[in-house]
């Protein structure tokens, strides 16, 4: 009888030990590792600032799957079932992170595109403003050029009228003022006192028009030798030039040339013709100081 009791006790103890070992066997290193990985994945997803907003469903699915896996582990379900449920939780968490990353990338691209459009718009605005500024500047320059041209034209007209008042005439060589032989004694090169008024008017004109230059040419008739006539014509041109210089006209604006008998304006076979040829001509440049090529 006693021996039968011991045998029964031994059998019951063996069964309890077997159940305990079986329960312990359901918690394997593989399932623990899978659960840890799933928990870490869910925690990473929950830590994302926009997880609830952008991946709410994936987050909830991951939480639910993790809860199911942990419940299976507590219920001592087979390790492979726990591992599978943990894998589902980790997969849902990974999906959530992928959804957030994709949306973030889209947002970044949209922001970059918006920034690019702003830059392009600002560049177009700057170009338009620059174009308006350049157009305004061109208009102002055109108006200024027009005013300058009108002023120059008016000044040229005024200068021509003043020269015409001194009996100057327009020729292909420009405006020319002819001083007759009455300004000098015969064979002389000293201006007569009667020339003062005309020379004074001429110097005043040049002072009022500082860009105009003059070429003073002395001419003689054909009486006498070439060398004598050239020297006499040069001295008479120099005399007029000196008179202008003495009245304040800069020497750089004056050219004095003796041309002798080389450019007659009348025949030398009569006294009247020779008198016309004995002259001093003052040729005026334009307002830019340029003489006509004729």
Which residues are CB-contacts of 16 (< 8 A; sequence separation ≥ 6)?
none
pLDDT digits 0-9 by tens, 85-141: 999 999 999 998 999 999 989 989 999 999 999 999 999 999 999 999 999 999 999
Print burial letters for 179-218: b (CB count within 10 Å at least 16), e (below 16).
bebebbeeeebebeeebeebbeebbebbeebeebbbbbbb
Q: For residue 243, count other CB atoms closer than 10 A to its CB.
A: 20
The reported pLDDT for the residue numbered 181 is: 67
| Span 82-98, pLDDT tens digits | 999 999 999 999 998 99
Beta-sheet pairing, 214-219 with 254-258: parallel
Q: What was the pLDDT predicted at 77?
A: 92
Conformation bin of residue 27: beta by default, left when phi > 0, alpha when psi is -120 to 50: beta
Q: Rounded to an integer, what distance in angstroms lies between the CA atom of residue 247 and that of residue 237?
A: 16
Least confident of 21-25, 170-174, 283-287: 21-25
Structure tokens given for 88: 């589902």
Predicted pLDDT at 156: 83
pLDDT of residue 182: 67
Average pLDDT over residues 166-195: 86
Q: Which fold has domain 166-284?
A: 60s Ribosomal Protein L30; Chain: A; (3.30.1330)
pLDDT score recorded for residue 5: 34
The stretches of the chain forming alpha helices (DSSP H) are 2-25, 29-47, 51-54, 56-74, 79-165, 196-208, 226-246, 271-277
| Cα within 13 Å of Cα(233), Cβ side | 28
Burial of 76 (0-12, 13-18, 19+ CB in 10 A): middle
The per-residue pLDDT for 194 is 82
How far, rounded to the nearest angstrom, does the alpha carbon of residue 146 sit from its chain's CA centroid? 25
Kindly report which listed range (6-20, 87-101, 184-198) carries the lowest average pLDDT score: 6-20
- Decide if 211 contacts 289 (C-beta within 8 A): yes
User: For residue 3, is pLDDT > 50?
Assistant: no
pLDDT of 58 > 60? The answer is yes
Per-residue confidence (pLDDT) for residue 122, from 0 to 100: 93
Instruction: Give Cα 217 distance to the centre of its chain.
Output: 53
Which of the four pLDDT bands, split at 50, 70 and 90, describes residue 2? Answer: very low
**pLDDT of 25 above 80:** no
Average pLDDT over residues 215-239: 94
| Inter-helix orientation angle 56-74/29-47, to 10° | 150
Residues comprising the chain, all counted: 294
Q: For residues 6 and 175, give the distance between their C-alpha atoms in angstroms, rounded to a whole number.
A: 155
């Amino acid at each position: 009888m006693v021996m039968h009791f011991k045998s029964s006790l031994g059998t019951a103890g063996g069964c309890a030990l077997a159940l305990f070992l079986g329960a312990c066997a359901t918690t394997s290193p593989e399932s623990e590792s899978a659960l840890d990985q799933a928990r870490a994945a869910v925690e990473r997803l929950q830590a994302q600032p926009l997880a609830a907003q952008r991946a709410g469903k994936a987050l909830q699915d991951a939480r639910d799957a993790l809860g199911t896996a942990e419940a299976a582990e507590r219920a001592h379900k087979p390790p492979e079932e726990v591992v599978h449920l943990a894998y589902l939780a980790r997969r849902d968490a990974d999906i959530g992170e992928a959804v957030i990353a994709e949306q973030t990338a889209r947002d970044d691209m949209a922001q970059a595109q918006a920034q690019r459009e702003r830059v392009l718009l600002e560049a177009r605005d700057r170009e338009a403003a620059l174009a308006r500024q350049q157009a305004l500047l061109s208009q102002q320059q055109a108006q200024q050029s027009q005013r300058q041209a009108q002023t120059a034209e008016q000044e040229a007209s005024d200068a021509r009228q003043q020269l015409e008042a001194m009996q100057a005439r327009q020729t292909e060589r420009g405006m020319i003022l002819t001083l007759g032989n009455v300004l000098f004694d015969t064979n002389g090169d000293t201006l007569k006192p009667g020339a003062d008024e005309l020379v004074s008017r001429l110097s005043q004109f040049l002072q009022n028009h500082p860009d105009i230059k003059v070429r003073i040419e002395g001419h003689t008739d054909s009486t006498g030798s070439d060398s004598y006539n050239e020297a006499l014509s040069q001295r008479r041109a120099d005399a007029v030039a000196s008179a202008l210089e003495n009245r304040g006209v800069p020497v750089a604006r004056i050219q004095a040339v003796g041309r002798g008998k080389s450019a007659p304006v009348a025949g030398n076979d009569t006294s009247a013709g020779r008198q016309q040829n004995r002259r001093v001509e003052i040729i005026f440049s334009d307002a830019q100081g340029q003489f006509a090529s004729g």
